[in-house]
Structure 1
């Protein structure tokens, strides 16, 4: 498949690119000006060669994700759009909602859209400590970024795209575990962390799962 990855220079985005290439996909990585991913291009092409991938990493493209006219020609001709963009950790943020608005406008005939959100904005199936202690604290500390994630999810859910929203809990840079738990009807009880590598693997595996189309999935290790 031909994949286009936004937020490709971030830690989940880089995993999406690496794993996507290694799995045999033709990947276009979209980054900001001056991204370090440009420096990694030879290494990524080597990953493709070792995996025997024809095409492999198609290109690293510098484009403004907030400008639909800029990214529409980048998206055109691909099968799947993946977004690993994250909210600003502090202060007012519209990174998630604004980028989703732009991407949806730019997708044209491309239907499949997979996005990373956050588990913290979701409820249901939490244990009492998480529901009454942990979640209220997170809601106060991360209220701006959580609000942005909610707006993004609402915008995507109202669209006509074949979307899937993956919502992991606190992210770590540990080695991939290769195991996942998920819930489309609420949270994953006891699911407090997930490796970024496993988030990328889950999203790539979800591309072909028709049962996850137009579903929001809370995921965890």
Structure 2
């Protein structure tokens, strides 16, 4: 798993371990991963050679890479995703789950979201959203068994296991989702891919 030290990553790590999965957390700073029963590998996300051995033998890879700087040009997600794909090919791992966001597309949205909310959000996060789209292109051409997951605004609510999904477009009216439920869905995707691009929201 990449991004295991973030909010959703910590929850996914705990849920996966509780379900009996062996979790490998690939991080820049191992001290930030405090969960028990987790194998921690220190690596540079921009250098596939530093983590290829760590993911070899894994059934699936989940990427929760952060967005990088909110303002200004960023390539963190796209370059990191490209590194992950390269390492997976070298390690012989086929199943990939990558998290981006529902904010960078209006497919499936209602008029208010499409013409009022998203234009404002897109202006504020223009560079970050552009990098998400580049990352999705990397996944699309990876040749792997990949699922891109697009959640909306994330909250610190509980894990309910009850949410809506939509393949190929956003969940209409789905403006929020708890990190715990995103982790729940990602665990399901890691067990069995559900589509090339899937949105998840309440």
Question: Fold match, TM over 0.5?
Answer: yes
Structure 1: segments with no counterpart, 5+ residues? 46-55
| Whole-angstrom distance in 1 between the partners of 2:112 and 2:58 | 44
* Alignment RMSD: 1.3
TM-score by length of 2: 0.94
User: 2:61–2:190: 8 Å Cα contact kept in structure 1?
Assistant: no
Q: What's 1:95 paired with?
A: 76
Q: How does 1:17-166 map to 2 (within 5 A)?
A: 17-33=13-29, 35-37=31-33, 40=34, 44-45=35-36, 56-57=37-38, 59-88=39-68, 89-107=70-88, 108=90, 109-166=92-149
**Aligned-pair distance for 1:34?**
5.6
Cα-to-partner distance string for 1:17-36 (whole Å, 9 max, x where unaligned): 11110010001111112642
1:219 and 2:166 equivalent? Answer: no
Moved more, 136-145 or 86-95: 86-95
1:8 and 2:7 equivalent? Answer: no
Question: Which entry has the higher C-alpha Rg, 1 or 2?
Answer: 1
Structure 2: segments with no counterpart, 5+ residues? none
Count matched residues.
199
| Whole-angstrom distance in 1 between the partners of 2:41 and 2:191 | 25
Runs of 4+ aligned structure 1 residues displaced above 3 Å come to: none
Q: What's 1:48 paired with?
A: none
User: 1:167–1:216: 8 Å Cα contact kept in structure 2?
Assistant: yes
